[in-house]
Amino acid sequence: MKVLETEIVIVAGGPAGLAAAVAAGENNRKSIIIEKSSTTGGAANMGMGPLGINTRIQRENFNEISVKDALDLHMKYTHYRVDADLVQTYFNKSADTIEWLEDMGVEFAGAFRYFKESEATWHIVKPENGVIGPRAAGPMIRALTERAKELGCEILLETAGKSLIVEDGRVCGVNAVDKDGNELQVRGQAVIVATGGFGNNKEMIKEEFGLNLAEDFFPFMIPGITGDGLRMMWDVGAAKFGANIEAIYQLPDNLNWFLLDAVLRQPNLLINQNGDRFMNEGYMGNTTFTGNALSLQPGNYGYCIMDEGILREYKKNGPDIMDIVHPADAFLAFEGQAATAVEQGYPAYFEAETVEELAEKLGIDPEKLQETIDEYNEYCERGVDEKFHKDQKFLHPITGRGKYLVGKFYLAAYGTVGGVRINKYCEVLNDEGYPIEGLYSAGSDANTIYGDSYNFTLPGNTMGFAVNTGRMAGESAAEYLAYLEEQ
């Protein structure tokens, strides 16, 4: 068996692992990253940028938010069911981390809100193609990768961690296997696990949450994010703690039907399979709120109904809800993708000329569907939603002008978060709440700062947590090595 020696072993080269490697290198510590994919970046290759609080970019655009205010907002949102010390440590570090990334050459397009009611904490990386959207964070990943290498980190691609090595009560390495099936050991004085959760592991999703991947739950399925690191940490005594999903909602196969998704997620009539409304659609801009509501419906989905008359209004005057991910010009290109969806029989999009035809396509009793539409239209006519009190400006009658246009939206997620518990030094804790010596974790494996719901009011949070806790873990592991040398 091949044995490699280093000082700090890092399992996975996503944003957390890369940040850990850079931080270790800045503290004159050598590291090796083992990454089972053929490239670095992990889920961040789909992302847009990290959270920052009280940054220069925010202040220059009059969007500043203090750590005090952000911490108060976050802790109240989570009802204090999260580790406030971990949250404040991350928030206090976040502005420095934005500058740290800029020093590596990362440019940011600005600090943005996801939707109107959120704070402008999302520091979106300046996209190479000039279009803000998914995958904008690619340049940040490349900058972190190059900086890690400059500081002496060796990155072993297509190499998967299998188990942690424990000797004399300390975690001191990783058993791994390369792309050719050759076993190797990567040994050091400390290990940082940052494998990004288990969002693409069907069995674990079912076991932990009772959800069926690609059946009643349609997250972004990032290859390789299968819970390897969590199982490795649990096997050496890490407490199993706080696993959850970053709940959102979307059409299945979202990225291939992005225009449909963008247009149909407006605050029109939203019903479940029984034909009933179930929430104030005015809150659909907060994708976590909507995902949570959908998770309580039969099949974890709902139908959002509008018509061509409403679509024409959106084209003319802009959509009801604006967000940074779904551009207004999607409405101008909608018909082309809608025609393709009909032609290909895409199962999450429906068009109909009449309520009866729509009811048949949706599998809902036509009388019940007509009753729900009639009640909704009465609210629109009076300008008062007596059921859920949706704002009058969102009350557009569903008349079927042109034809009905319907999207079938499912509970979805960016991925999973949590599974192990860390303290503010990113030390992994056992069932008694004590650190496991030599073991650290960062990023989504250890992200337990949301309680029961992803905090969309502070966007960029998951990538921000990953990059910042990666730095924190790298610095803590370096301090641990210094302590060992003093003994």
Task: Assign residue 135 the CATH number of its domain.
Answer: 3.50.50.60
Tens of pLDDT, residues 261-285 = 999 999 999 999 999 999 999 999 9
Q: Is 366 in contact with 359 (CB distance < 8 Å)? A: yes
Query: Pick from 386, 412, 438: which residue ends a domain?
Result: 412
The token pair at 206 is 């079912």
Question: What is the gyration radius of the CA atoms in the chain, in angstroms?
Answer: 24
**CA 470, CA 461: separation in Å to the nearest integer?**
14
Tens of pLDDT, residues 288-337 = 999 999 999 999 999 999 999 999 999 999 999 988 888 778 899 999 99
Give the residue carrying structure tokens 């449909």. 260
Whether residue 170 sits in one domain with residue 52: yes
The token pair at 246 is 């970053």
Residue from 306, 196, 299 nearest 252 by CA = 299
Whether residue 451 sits in one domain with residue 306: no
**CA 195, CA 319: separation in Å to the nearest integer?**
38
Instruction: For residue 276, give the CATH number of its domain.
Output: 3.90.700.10
**CA 131, CA 85: separation in Å to the nearest integer?**
37
Query: Pick from 376, 395, 412: which residue ends a domain?
Result: 412
Residue from 482, 478, 425 nearest 31 by CA = 478
pLDDT at 235 over 90: yes
DSSP H or E segment with residue 17: helix 15-26
Q: Name the region of 342 (left: φ>0; alpha: ψ -120 to 50; beta: rest).
A: alpha
* Domain that residue 435 falls in: 2-240+420-486
In the prediction, which pLDDT does 287 show?
Answer: 94
Whether residue 315 sits in one domain with residue 177: no
In the prediction, which pLDDT does 364 show?
Answer: 98
Q: What is the DSSP secondary structure assignment for residue 239, as one 8-state letter? A: P
Whether residue 358 sits in one domain with residue 444: no
Query: Pick from 412, 447, 478: which residue ends a domain?
Result: 412
In the prediction, which pLDDT does 324 show?
Answer: 81
* Domain count across the chain: 2
Whether residue 362 sits in one domain with residue 316: yes
Whether residue 325 sits in one domain with residue 439: no
Confidence band of 73 (pLDDT split at 50, 70, 90): very high
